[in-house]
Amino acid sequence: MSEKKKIAVVGGTGAEGSGLAIRWANAGHDVVIGSRDAAKAQAAADELNAILGRPALAGRTNADAVAGADIIVLTVPYASQLSTIESLAGLLDGKILVDVTVPLVPPKVSTVQLPPTDSAAVALQAKVGPGVRVVSAFQNISAHKLKKLDFKIPCDVLICSDDKDARMEIMALAEDAGLKGINAGPLANSTVAESLTSVLIWINRAYKIPDAGIQITGLG
């Protein structure tokens, strides 16, 4: 495990957030599930603790979870991305904010529909300001495999940030979750990962598979 971190997973009651949360808790990090409803967050934490067989995770409101964390992982739907962050104003400065949201626009989720900024993560960085280090990561991981802790997910994670140290720190967290993090450069490059999600959804439907992913070749 990398250095032990305090991680708040905002939107952690969903499939992607809870899957990442249980993997980080299993690796030994302090993980708190965040939700607008504290009771719902605690119920999700209890479910994950039952899988782990120990009380490793806690559930709190988003604000309480973020206040006590070093790293915040945002796993809410794209439509709630900016409004959720606005509700946490003043609690994010000096921290790393990992954006897992993808600009999917129902019902055409298998068609790439990027925002005017070309990247949801770039828009998020502009929203929170330079005092918060935004990292884009984990958009292309199959959520239903994350809770299978003994399963090695054959999918690489593109990790982008304008802050090199933050990028490297989240690469280490990816490894702690049993994933391979790929240094994909500045935050603007997250456009690739964000748009790739719609392509993978299309591939899943076309080939009738549940979990298409990517792997970067040539790294040895």
Burial 182-219 (b: 16+ CB within 10 A, else e): bebbebbbbbbbbbbbbebbeeeeeeeeeebbbeeeee
Q: How far is CA 101 from CA 84, 113, 142, 166, 207, in A?
A: 12, 13, 14, 18, 25
Domain ranges across the chain:
6-207
What are the tens digits of pLDDT across the range 85-97? 999 999 999 999 9
Among 25, 71, 76, 65, CA closest to 47? 25
Local confidence band at 209 (pLDDT 50, 70, 90 cut-offs): very high
Look at 65-79, 108-122, 141-155, 172-186 and tell me which has the smallest mean pLDDT: 141-155
What are the tens digits of pLDDT across the range 16-25? 999 999 999 9
CA pair distance 161, 168, nearest whole angstrom: 9
pTM (predicted TM-score): 0.96
Q: Phi then psi for 109, rounded to 5 degrees? A: -75, -15
CATH of domain 6-207: 3.40.50.720
Local confidence band at 187 (pLDDT 50, 70, 90 cut-offs): very high
For 82, half-sphere exposure in the C-beta direction (CA atoms, 13 angstrom radius) is 13
Mean confidence (pLDDT) of the chain = 95
How is residue 20 written in tokens?
């990442």
pLDDT at 8 over 80: yes
Count of other CB atoms within 10 angstroms of residue 94: 8
